[in-house]
Amino acid sequence: MVNVPILTITYALPLVGAAAILLIPRERAALARPLALFFTSLALIASLLACGRFDAALAGYQLVESTTWIPRLGITYHLGIDGISLPLVLLTTFLGPITVLSAFGCITERHKEFYAALLALIGFSLGSFLALDTVLFYLFFELMLVPMFLIIGIWGGKGRVHAAVKFFLFTVAGSLPFLLGLIALKIYSGSPTFGLTDLLSMPALAPSIQCWLFLAFAFAFAIKVPMVPVHTWLPDAHGEAPTPGSVWLAAVLLKVGVYGFLRFALPLFPVAVETFAPYLMALSVIGIVYGALLALAQTNMKRLVAYSSVSHMGYIMLGVFALNEAGIAGGVFQMVAHGLTTGGLFLLVGMLYERRHTLDIPSYGGLARVMPWHATAFMVVVLGSAALPGLCGFIGEFLVLLGAARVGWLWAALGGLGIIFGAAYLLVLYRGLMFGAVRHRQNESLPDLSLREGLVIAPVAVLIVVLGLLPSPVLQRVRPAVGEVLRRVEAGGAVAGRAAARPAAPPAFLDRATPPKED
């Protein structure tokens, strides 16, 4: 039992499911749905088993699976989880069956191909969170693109081709420097393999090399997150993707970018991280406010939620580059919280779209009377997203801002503007959809949540509350891993002859309080 490669099984299950779905004969295509549900549920069970074996007190990688794979190129097959990847893996497997179930309502053609693509997407996403070999990560990182591209391009809305191509071009543009950076990293460091543990055990790189390589990595990850100003692919992709695609994009795909920063860029290039952290914090704060303002200007509900993602992802990056425990742990928690709340928003918005086939907010109004259950679930998710204390969004944003305040209180004050604007666009969205009189006759008779839709949204809403009140089980596991990342960043900074950048004693309080101007 002990030697069962549970991580490989976790990510392989959806991939096997995808293959199985592709193999069913065309006249039995209806089987695609139960099969997809079956395999994603199995993956959820597998990940829960892995979670059961995970020792919360340990800092390093656990359940490690490591073999040589392509020795001539120094590529290894190396999987493992720590407290940073575990919550993301669980978020991914939790949303798997939910996303599949949500697809039942909105996918009306090419069922087989759709569920195969969706399961491949789920499998590759899991793989990217599990990989500890940089090339393996790169493979999963790139492979995710293919099914996502197809899901937007084939099952999307009117502008799907443009959106899919834009999504693809942006991401590929980031991947190229990332790949070159990887190869350069191996050459410069003299590491025998691309394995992360090998790379980390090499002597520190020269600061200038670190900076160049960090920029190459950061470019790829920043596009994925996305950070302002490379965010413009996101609203198009969200606006056109079908509901399950939007859910997956917001809830999981964007997290891979942040995860890349945390897993690779921070530990590998500590000196560069210290150098660039203020700039990245500034970009994050700009992203928070900018994204929120953009969301306020939208009349298309999916684009509104997409821009809210830009704002919320800004919080996560702000926490990560605060480079302290509260900030990074808050960022990791916020990734889970954002996955649930934004995923939930796309699910609920998608249910409206299935009924009325429009994303235009003014086409709705007064739905709280017509669809009370939908309105109730929507309220819970909106409040979770608006960081109401007691719901999951609050823990993440509170810790992120606490971490940012430790760098300088002005960071927290500027980032905190997002909680005001965030409440504004979310409540305005809610009023637009749910309150007021019913203005369109079609809306008079819209059916409330079906049983299937209830099963889709109820687990999300419940988890939003549960994680808000009991975040400790997650945070307990996150903290040791965050401590490990911070230890590397600080050690790296010290090796390079810099004073330990963030002393524990209170620094001069207004130190670094003014964000550097963006250049």
Partner 1 sequence: MDNPILFLTILLPPFLGALVIGLTGRYLPRKLPGILGCATVLVSLAASIRGFVDLHHVEGALLEADFGVWFAVAPLTVRFHFLLDPLASFMTLVVSGVGFLIHVYSIGYMRHEARDERFFSFMNLFTGTMLTLVLAGNLPLMFIGWEGVGLCSYLLIGYWFTDGAKAAAGIKAFLVNRIGDLGFLIGIFLLVHAIGTVDFQALAQPALFESVGAGLLCGIGLCLFLGATGKSAQIPLYMWLPDAMAGPTPVSALIHAATMVTAGVYMVGRLGVLFAASGVLPIVAVVGAATAFFAATMALTERDLKKVLAYSTVSQLGFMFLAMGCGAYSAGIFHVYTHAFFKALLFLAAGSVIHALHGEQDIRRMGGLLRKLPVTGTTFLIGGLALAGLPLLSGYLSKDEILLAARTSFVPLWLLAELTALLTAAYVGRLVWLVFFGKTRIEAAAWAGVRESPPVMTGPLVVLAAGAALAGYVNLPHVVAHEGAALLKRFLAIAGEQAITASAAAEVAGLVVSGLVCFGGLALAYGFVVRRRAQLHARLARPGALGRLHALLLAKYFVDGFCMRYLAGGARKLAGVVHFLDELFVDAFLVRGVFGLLVRILGEATRLLQAGRVQAYGMALVLGGAAMLLYLLLSEIPW
Q: Which residue, 73 or 495, has its beta carbon nearer to partner 1?
A: 73
Buried b (16+ CB within 10 A) or exposed e, 435-469: eeebeeeebeebeebeeebeebbebbbebbeebbe
- Tokens coding 368: 């709280």
Among 45, 64, 424, 446, binds partner 1 (CB under 8 A): 424
How far apart (Å, rounded) are the C-alpha atoms in residues 229 and 287?
A: 8
* Nearest alpha carbon to residue 504 among 482, 478, 486: 486
Residues 465-484 that bind partner 1 (CB under 8 A): 469, 471-472, 475-476, 479
- Tokens coding 328: 């990074």
The DSSP code sequence of 286-309 is: HHHHHHHHHHHT--BHHHHHHHHH
Q: Which residue, 164 or 205, has its beta carbon nearer to partner 1?
A: 164
How far apart (Å, rounded) are the C-alpha atoms in residues 472 and 410?
A: 28
- β-strands 75-81, 62-70: how paired? antiparallel
Q: Which residue, 161 or 495, has its beta carbon nearer to partner 1?
A: 161
Reported as type and span, the H/E element at residue 65 is: strand 62-70
Residues 324-353 that bind partner 1 (CB under 8 A): 324-326, 329-330
Residues 24-63 that bind partner 1 (CB under 8 A): none
Residues 147-176 that bind partner 1 (CB under 8 A): 149-150, 153-154, 160-162, 164-165, 169, 172-173
Among 132, 336, 349, 399, binds partner 1 (CB under 8 A): 399
Q: Which residue, 167 or 271, has its beta carbon nearer to partner 1?
A: 167
What's the closest the beta carbon of residue 233 comes to partner 1, in angstroms?
9
Residues 63-92 that bind partner 1 (CB under 8 A): 69-70, 72-73, 75
State how far Cα 41 lies from the chain centre: 20
- Tokens coding 355: 């009924």
Q: Which residue, 9 or 296, has its beta carbon nearer to partner 1?
A: 296
* Nearest alpha carbon to residue 460 among 33, 95, 23, 181: 95
> Is 359 among the residues that bind partner 1 (CB under 8 A)?
no
* Nearest alpha carbon to residue 348 among 302, 388, 313: 302
Among 372, 444, 513, 516, binds partner 1 (CB under 8 A): 372
Answer for the pair 348, 374: CB distance below 8 angstroms, yes or no. Answer: yes
What's the closest the beta carbon of residue 366 comes to partner 1, in angstroms?
6
Reported as type and span, the H/E element at residue 80 is: strand 75-81
Residues 129-148 that bind partner 1 (CB under 8 A): 142-143, 145-146
CA distances from 408 to 5, 38, 125, 278, 507 (A): 45, 49, 35, 11, 9
What's the closest the beta carbon of residue 36 comes to partner 1, in angstroms?
19
Residues 247-306 that bind partner 1 (CB under 8 A): 290, 293-294, 296-298
Residues 208-247 that bind partner 1 (CB under 8 A): 228-230, 232
What's the closest the beta carbon of residue 89 comes to partner 1, in angstroms?
21
> Is 447 among the residues that bind partner 1 (CB under 8 A)?
no
